[in-house]
Structure 1
Amino acid sequence: FNTIGIDLLSATANDILVMGARPVTFLDYIANDRLDPFIVKEIVSGMVGACKDIGVSLVGGETAEMPDTYLPGEHDLVGVITGMVEKNKIITGDNIGPGDVVLGLPSSGLHTNGYSFARKLFFDIGKFRVNDVIPELEKSVGLTLLEPHINYTNHVFSVLDSGVNLKGIAHITGGGLVENIPRILPNGCGVEIQKHSWPRVPVFDVIQSIGNVDKNEMNRVFNMGIGMVFIVKLDDVGTVRGALKHLTNIYEIGFVVNGKNNVVIK
């Protein structure tokens, strides 16, 4: 259960990072049919460790027992995060223009999105169990699906602190690259993505194989191995690589073009 706490912080923090906001405080809410102190401790311990990693204060939370609302074993988690950014430093995407480079930061797996589909494919169609090991995966099915969502706070501020002008940031969640990148594009700009420009995360190949899922559907549901996107000037690519060399690999996955506010994967 400790990975759930990590996921909760990562999902919320990454959503405010796209504006250049530094996460400051975090609140949690945990509800189920009957509170189990061990499970609550596991969930909160994951949050605490994740908060320490990025310098966020876990300032409080709430628990609730609602046996008439939740089935046995069900958990409802909510995270509330606050962040700070100077008004004149908010990243809006307004200055993105043709010729800018799209950089992809790798994901660790599903990143808390597409789980209903993944569960159906693995457990209903594929008939796998959580402890089964598939040759293509390094871990069991259960541990692969529980791989924690990467928190990109340290990545974003390593780049900002290096002086790079991050023109746009997109957190790649449900909707994948094709639906999340257009949110930050100004009118008259589109993005072309080169589909073989970053390593695939094996879990997505397994998912596609089990269900014979259409490639376009995969791109609409999953992050496909890219968890966050930066858009920068071509001249800044080397500086970004230098700022992130101790944190992650980074891939040039596409570029901004004149056109409609959409993403084309070629």
Structure 2
Amino acid sequence: MDYRDAGVDVEAGRAFVDQIRNLVHSTFRPEVIGGLGGFGGCFQLPGGFKEPVLVSGTDGVGTKLKIASAVNRHDTVGIDLVAMCVNDVLTSGAEPLFFLDYVATGKLEKEQLTQVVAGIASGCKLAGCALLGGETAEMPGFYQVGEYDLAGFCVGIVEKSQMLDGSQVQIGDVAIALPSSGVHSNGFSLVRKIINERNLSWSDRPELLNGQSLGETFLTPTRIYVKPVLAARKAGLEIHGMAHITGGGLPENLPRCLGKNQAIKINPDSWTIPPVFQWLAETGSVSPEAMYNTFNMGIGFVLLVPPNQVEQTINYFQSQDISAYAIAQVIAGNGELLELPY
């Protein structure tokens, strides 16, 4: 017997690395040292920092991957993987520098995983970071043939004096929301349960979703906020805090950017909830409380700004073709989110 008899094709793995080499190289920044294939990726810190702080983040895509497999479309989940990490790092004010991925599969399917890596490369370009390296693990017997899992790791950099840690947030600050592109990458166990229990198909096209199939709707990749938000700070906008609205929705994530003895009072009528969330609530008979504690409800990222910066901040993002709207205000409290509609 040999390794191939056990289900692991070493030669196919080498061929896969060769196939994705150009995708990886297309993301490189000037600070990357060397190429693909070493035991570690090397990256020289950019100059111009007096007290550079490295900020790291790691995440996965979750059971959204089940939908990608069901509809045999794999070019978007790599964007999700990058987005979940770089948006987290961004909340500290950090610029993502480089990204590494881990792909585990039952049997290496070159075309399938090349689509995945192409998505990861696209996400890195959208975030301005280098895909510095990664690992592909072929694990027969652990994953079914055709199945794979993804994890990612990102490192960013910020000047210590410019780092956001909650201490800059003041009572009276206003929360400016940037819209999500849809469900992003959280809550998919509930999404899949609704689809399964209602005997629906990913090819179904509900009227409420304007004729788009359920597969297309739920594979819409997570929006990456890095470049417009960093550009806003460089343009002189005063931002005291940021929140990435991921698992747990607004109730769990919005308070995470507050300082001590602060809370946030939300105005639930200040934005229009996208149709996909209305469809989920109606089709799955999901309560408002469960919806807000599971999904982003149309808000992917939030900035806390001083009251005198609200109009300027909204105008700036609108000038970049990004919707922005005031949804809440910081008040005295103990880290809670007040006045949600349930």
* Structure possessing the higher radius of gyration over alpha carbons: 2
In the alignment, what sits opposite 2:45? none
CA contact (8 A) 1:109 1:225 kept: yes
CA contact (8 A) 1:26 1:60 kept: yes
Q: Offset of 1:110 from its aligned partner?
A: 1.1
Cα separation, 1, equivalents of 2:113 and 2:168 = 44
Q: Offset of 1:155 from its aligned partner?
A: 2.1
Verify: 1:131 aligned to 2:203, yes or no. yes
Cα separation, 2, equivalents of 1:214 and 1:178 = 15
Q: Offset of 1:165 from its aligned partner?
A: 2.0
Residue identity opposite 2:203 in structure 1:
N
Cα separation, 1, equivalents of 2:181 and 2:193 = 20
Identical counterparts, % of pairs: 38
Aligned residues: 265
Higher relative contact order, chain-length normalized (CA < 8 Å, sep 6+): 1
In the alignment, what sits opposite 2:329? 255
Verify: 1:67 aligned to 2:144, yes or no. no
Q: Offset of 1:173 from its aligned partner?
A: 0.3
Cα separation, 1, equivalents of 2:137 and 2:321 = 38
CA contact (8 A) 2:206 2:213 kept: yes
Residue identity opposite 1:47 in structure 2:
I
In the alignment, what sits opposite 1:212? 285
TM-score (norm: length of structure 2): 0.75
Verify: 1:231 aligned to 2:323, yes or no. no
CA contact (8 A) 2:126 2:224 kept: no
In the alignment, what sits opposite 2:87? 14
Cα separation, 1, equivalents of 2:129 and 2:214 = 31
Question: Is there any run of 5+ residues in structure 1 with no aligned partner, and where?
Answer: none
Out of 243, 246, 249, the residue aligned to residue 176 of structure 1 is 249
> Helix, strand or coil: the match of 2:207?
coil
CA contact (8 A) 1:189 1:258 kept: yes
Aligned residues: CA RMSD: 1.2
Out of 97, 118, 125, the residue aligned to residue 170 of structure 2 is 97
Residue identity opposite 2:326 in structure 1:
E
Q: Offset of 1:64 from its aligned partner?
A: 1.0
In the alignment, what sits opposite 2:37? none
Map residues 27-176 of structure 1 onto 2, 5 A cutoff.
Answer: 27-122=100-195, 124-138=196-210, 139-176=212-249
Cα separation, 2, equivalents of 1:241 and 1:197 = 14
TM-score (norm: length of structure 1): 0.96
**Large movers: runs of 4+ above 3 Å:** none
Question: Is there any run of 5+ residues in structure 2 with no aligned partner, and where?
Answer: 1-73
Residue identity opposite 2:336 in structure 1:
N
